[in-house]
Homo-oligomer: A and B are copies of this chain.
Amino acid sequence: MNAASNHQSRFAALQGQKPDAIDTPALVLDAEAVNRNMQRMAEFAAKHQIKLRPHAKLHKSADIARLQMQAGAIGVCVQTVGEGEALAAGGVNDIFISNEIVSPAKLRRVAGLAQLLKNRSGKLAIAVDSDEGIDRLALAMQTTSAAIDVFIEIDVGQGRCGVAPGPAAVALVQRLQGSARLRYAGLHAYHGGAQHLRTVAERRNAIGQAALRVAATRDALAQANLAPAIITGGGTGTFGLEAASGLWNELQPGSFLFMDADYARNERDNAQPAFEQALFVKSQVISVQDGHAVCDAGCKSIALDSGPPLVHALPGQPALIYASGGDEHGILRSATAGGPLPAVGDTVWLIPSHCDPTVNLHDAMIAVQGGLAAGAVSAVVRVDARGA
């Protein structure tokens, strides 16, 4: 979080200022907490001798992706070609698009990105889960001299993308062999549905079932002399389980870096490091009426898809509960009947319930060192792939 930012914008004058100077609504990072979360994850991966490829769809920032790689990550995941292009433009050279792309126009951009990264001695990877997807990718890659690493995505329980485990996955790997520019890299086995299961027991059960599917697929592939070199997966809710399974050898969690209110509602798994809340939305009270106050952060600056944000009361601030007030408003009530409300002009810090789509609503994240109350702005981190 000390990386020099070349972001020229309305935020530039903030450098070195107190958090008071940050206009609202704004996305604010506790820079030390981000650093600690990053170090804890890197230490976990090192201790478990497992590769770390954190998901950059969280932060969409090339600066942060490069910091993660300096701290030991082998590369990053992205979810779209636009994210990949934005991070590559910011100097990131090892990128896995952990998603299916089938549009010819986008696949031409995938091929161009593979060529760009190859020219820099980096590499691009992508997921596929269908014959059609492989054929379209192979066609697009003919326009370049680069190759692309290809992961077969298998459905390990989420019921979203991913071919069925076992023989169907073997057939897709065999189809890959027809194209010299598609390099079979391994299996993409991510269970999104398990990440927010509330108890450790539920998550252990879900990843246990996912592991059976991964093992069956690995064994079927080995029998066909197609053993996968890499099995990648795991998110912030479950990566300790994937790491302990002996099957996965690459982890791709993202949210641990910032955390959010919804992950904080999970029962802690002591096999995973503890992560701190590092992402906040700074908001301001614009109206105080009988029994409630109104702040200037609504669903256009804080994502509500996983429920309302929590209010992060600094010492001396009243305990408040946030309710949706529309696009540009949050309704704040005292957490205790008849308790104190803030005054017009006061700052209210919010903890997003879902960090990824909240970040995507903003052009920049303001990093603060020394605490939200008394610290100072240390960097303005651009959300390079905002909207991409």
The residues of A with any CB-CB pair to B shorter than 8 Å are: 23-24, 57, 79-80, 99-103, 105-106, 129-130, 132-133, 136, 155, 159-164, 192, 284-290, 292, 294, 299-300, 303-305, 324-329, 331, 343-345, 356-357, 360-363, 386-387
Q: A103 contacts which chain B residues (CB < 8 A)? A: 23-24, 284, 345
Given the interface pairs A102-B284, A105-B23, A286-B161, the reply to whether A192 lies near B130 with Cβ below 8 Å is no
Q: A99 contacts which chain B residues (CB < 8 A)? A: 286, 328
Per the bound structure, the CA–CA distance linking A102 and B24 in Å amounts to 11
Contact of A327 with B356 in the complex, beta carbons under 8 Å: yes
- Expressed in whole angstroms, the minimum distance between the Cβ of A353 and any Cβ of chain B is 12
Q: A102 contacts which chain B residues (CB < 8 A)? A: 284-286, 344-345
- Expressed in whole angstroms, the minimum distance between the Cβ of A308 and any Cβ of chain B is 10
Per the bound structure, the CA–CA distance linking A303 and B326 in Å amounts to 12
- Expressed in whole angstroms, the minimum distance between the Cβ of A364 and any Cβ of chain B is 10
- Expressed in whole angstroms, the minimum distance between the Cβ of A42 and any Cβ of chain B is 24
Contact of B286 with A57 in the complex, beta carbons under 8 Å: no
Per the bound structure, the CA–CA distance linking A336 and B184 in Å amounts to 38
Q: A360 contacts which chain B residues (CB < 8 A)? A: 300, 327, 361
Given the interface pairs A79-B327, A129-B287, the reply to whether A362 lies near B345 with Cβ below 8 Å is no
Contact of B289 with A305 in the complex, beta carbons under 8 Å: no
Report 6 cross-chain contacts, Cβ distance below 8 Å, ordered by A residue. A79-B328, A99-B286, A132-B343, A161-B329, A300-B357, A386-B387
Q: A162 contacts which chain B residues (CB < 8 A)? A: 287, 289
Contact of B132 with A299 in the complex, beta carbons under 8 Å: no
Contact of A57 with B159 in the complex, beta carbons under 8 Å: no
Which residue in chain B gives the minimum CB-CB distance to A193?
A: B326
Q: A305 contacts which chain B residues (CB < 8 A)? A: 299, 304-305, 324
Contact of B106 with A23 in the complex, beta carbons under 8 Å: yes
- Expressed in whole angstroms, the minimum distance between the Cβ of A290 and any Cβ of chain B is 7
Q: A136 contacts which chain B residues (CB < 8 A)? A: 345
Q: Which one of A80, A285, A326 has the highest number of Cβ atoms from chain B below 10 Å of its Cβ?
A: A326
Per the bound structure, the CA–CA distance linking A159 and B314 in Å amounts to 26
- Expressed in whole angstroms, the minimum distance between the Cβ of A11 and any Cβ of chain B is 12
Given the interface pairs A100-B287, A130-B288, A362-B387, the reply to whether A160 lies near B303 with Cβ below 8 Å is no
Contact of A328 with B106 in the complex, beta carbons under 8 Å: no
Contact of B357 with A327 in the complex, beta carbons under 8 Å: yes
Q: Which one of A23, A287, A328 has the highest number of Cβ atoms from chain B below 10 Å of its Cβ?
A: A287
- Expressed in whole angstroms, the minimum distance between the Cβ of A44 and any Cβ of chain B is 24
Per the bound structure, the CA–CA distance linking A208 and B129 in Å amounts to 57
Per the bound structure, the CA–CA distance linking A106 and B363 in Å amounts to 18
Given the interface pairs A103-B345, A331-B160, A361-B360, the reply to whether A130 lies near B300 with Cβ below 8 Å is no
